[in-house]
């Protein structure tokens, strides 16, 4: 039977202490020990289901972490206060001063800045490569490399990483493959495709309501235990853990993720098709013309669509700004960063979420100043939405002259 990540979540049945179907929120930072001996024991051994302090584990964060581990078909997970916290602690757990990382060059701007500017201060340096070029990936690996880092579907250009191929390269060189799967929860299960560690910004699709910032790391029991180790764990000692109330809310939203992903995907597919038909340069992995469309079809879990993000190049930054203003006025959605929200969000990555990247580098990777990234919402009538977008495109003078002649 094929793997169904949504079923994995559905089958995660937990009861609270009163049989509550939404387990009681554990609103506590610390826990009593019924005997002093018990306290000694708990600080010496990691005992599953025993809690000592909420920077370590909290029942509410543990429920969410366990559900995420099931979704990914992984052994264990930990939840964090942001996606950046999840990425930072995972990398700091894996790398020490002197170590190197090989990372994709089209990654989220915050991750790029972490790798490029912050980690070098601690002696951890990164080589950025085109992950679609296996020879370039191999050439960037040195005896000091510890981690191969990628986004399964990259931000904002929506390049799809060949996870099985990257995993083979990682194995050959004894590296850990760390995959940011923020754009494609349920659609891709990176651990099943050879990743060692999966990280998420749960701020996006997983939560879906844009009311908090959160992240997670899913990996082996051993890795999660190391992250939470009271003597050397990056999560335990840097401390970016998620609050229990947020964790409880996220767990409830996780149970509707499959329905939301399907709707985001249907709507995005429709808009991408229409934008392409209108003659615009569109990036969407669901389109047959996307360079890694076939690869994604090969790797993906069935039935969750191709994701909710569409990027379209409208030429210049001035045009992109006019278009976004017009679309906000016409209630297509919000001119805002972030993604995975029930309403449509649009932003121009070159000037926002990828602005950490120098303009020269952005242009080299094909991230034009006129790129507009849509996080397509859960609109009930996407044909109406398209009619409004089309009018906005025309009003700002973008020619809609059909697909280029063959």
Ligand X SMILES: *Cc1c(COP(=O)(O)O)cnc(C)c1O
What is the DSSP code string of 28-85? Answer: -SB---SSHHHHHHHHHS--TT--SBTTT--HHHHHHHHHHHHHTT-SEEEEESSHHH
User: Quick one: which of 68, 103, 213, 378 contacts ligand X (CB under 6 A)?
Assistant: 213
Q: What is the x/- site pattern for ligand X, positions 167-186, by CB under 6 A?
A: -------------x-x----
Specify burial of residue 164 (Cβ count, 10 A radius: 0-12, 13-18, 19+): middle
> Please, what is the minimum distance in Å from the beta carbon of residue 81 to ligand X?
8
Q: Which is nearer to ligand X, 65 or 398 (CB)?
A: 65
Choices 80-88, 95-103, 131-139, 232-240 (CB under 6 A): range interacting with ligand X: 80-88
- Does residue number 111 form part of the binding site for ligand X (CB under 6 A)? yes
> Please, what is the minimum distance in Å from the beta carbon of residue 178 to ligand X?
12
Q: Which is nearer to ligand X, 339 or 392 (CB)?
A: 339
> Please, what is the minimum distance in Å from the beta carbon of residue 67 to ligand X?
18
- Does residue number 215 form part of the binding site for ligand X (CB under 6 A)? yes
Q: Which is nearer to ligand X, 93 or 203 (CB)?
A: 203
Q: Which is nearer to ligand X, 108 or 346 (CB)?
A: 108
Q: Please give the Cα distance from 111 to 93 (Å, whole number).
A: 16
- 174 — alpha (psi -120 to 50), left (phi > 0) or beta? left
- Does residue number 203 form part of the binding site for ligand X (CB under 6 A)? yes
The single residue listed with the structure tokens 């002259």 is 401
User: Quick one: which of 58, 60, 78, 82 contacts ligand X (CB under 6 A)?
Assistant: 82
Q: Please give the Cα distance from 122 to 277 (Å, whole number).
A: 49
The count of other CB atoms within 10 Å of the CB of residue 380 is 9
Residues paired with 20 in a beta bridge: none
Task: Please state, in angstroms and as integers, the Cα–Cα distance from residue 198 to each residue in 26, 72, 73, 156, 244, following that order.
Answer: 26, 8, 11, 19, 22
- Does residue number 290 form part of the binding site for ligand X (CB under 6 A)? no
Choices 48-56, 76-84, 228-236, 259-267 (CB under 6 A): range interacting with ligand X: 76-84
- Does residue number 83 form part of the binding site for ligand X (CB under 6 A)? yes
Q: Please give the Cα distance from 31 to 249 (Å, whole number).
A: 22
What is the DSSP code string of 232-270? Answer: T-HHHHH--BPPHHHHHHHHHHHTTHHHHHHHHHHHHHH
> Please, what is the minimum distance in Å from the beta carbon of residue 108 to ligand X?
4
Could you tell me how far CA 153 lies from the centroid of its own chain? Answer: 9
Q: Which is nearer to ligand X, 79 or 280 (CB)?
A: 79
> Please, what is the minimum distance in Å from the beta carbon of residue 86 to ligand X?
8
- Does residue number 84 form part of the binding site for ligand X (CB under 6 A)? yes
Q: What is the contact surface with ligand X in residues (CB under 6 A)?
A: 82-84, 108, 110-111, 151, 155, 180, 182, 201, 203-204, 213, 215
């Amino acid at each position: 039977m094929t793997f169904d990540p949504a079923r994995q979540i559905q089958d995660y049945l937990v009861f609270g202490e009163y049989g509550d179907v939404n387990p009681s929120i554990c609103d506590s930072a610390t826990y009593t020990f019924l005997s002093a001996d018990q306290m000694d024991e708990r600080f010496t051994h990691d005992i599953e289901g025993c809690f000592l302090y909420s920077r370590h584990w909290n029942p509410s964060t543990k429920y969410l972490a366990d559900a995420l581990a099931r979704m990914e078909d992984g052994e264990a997970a930990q939840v964090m206060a942001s996606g950046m916290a999840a990425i930072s602690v995972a990398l700091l757990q894996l790398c020490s001063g002197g170590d190197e990382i090989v990372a994709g060059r089209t990654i989220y701007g915050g991750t790029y800045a972490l790798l490029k500017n912050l980690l070098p201060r601690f002696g951890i340096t990164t080589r950025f490569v085109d992950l679609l070029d296996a020879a370039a990936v191999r050439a960037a690996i040195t005896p000091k490399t510890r981690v191969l880092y990628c986004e399964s579907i990259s931000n904002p250009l929506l390049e799809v990483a060949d996870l099985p191929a990257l995993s083979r390269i990682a194995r050959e060189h004894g590296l850990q493959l760390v995959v940011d799967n923020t754009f494609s929860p349920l659609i891709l299960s990176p651990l099943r495709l050879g990743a060692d560690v999966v990280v998420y910004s749960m701020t996006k699709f997983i939560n879906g309501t844009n009311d908090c910032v959160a992240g997670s790391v899913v990996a082996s029991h051993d890795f999660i235990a190391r992250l939470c180790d009271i003597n050397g764990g990056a999560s335990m000692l840097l401390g970016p853990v998620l609050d229990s109330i947020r964790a409880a809310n996220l767990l409830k939203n996780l149970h509707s993720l499959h329905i939301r992903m399907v709707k985001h995907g249907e709507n995005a597919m429709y808009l991408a098709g229409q934008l392409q038909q209108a003659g615009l340069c569109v990036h969407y992995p669901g389109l047959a013309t996307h360079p890694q469309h076939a690869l994604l079809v090969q790797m993906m879990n069935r039935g969750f669509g191709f994701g909710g993000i569409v990027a379209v190049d409208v030429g210049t930054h001035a045009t992109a700004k006019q278009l976004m203003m017009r679309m906000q006025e016409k209630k297509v959605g919000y001119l805002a960063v972030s993604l995975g929200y029930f309403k449509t969000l649009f932003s121009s990555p070159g000037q926002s979420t990828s602005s950490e990247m120098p303009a020269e580098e952005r242009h080299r990777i094909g991230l034009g100043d006129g790129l507009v990234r849509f996080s397509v919402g859960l609109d009930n009538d996407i044909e109406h939405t398209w009619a409004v977008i089309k009018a906005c495109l025309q009003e700002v003078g973008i020619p809609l002259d059909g697909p280029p002649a063959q």
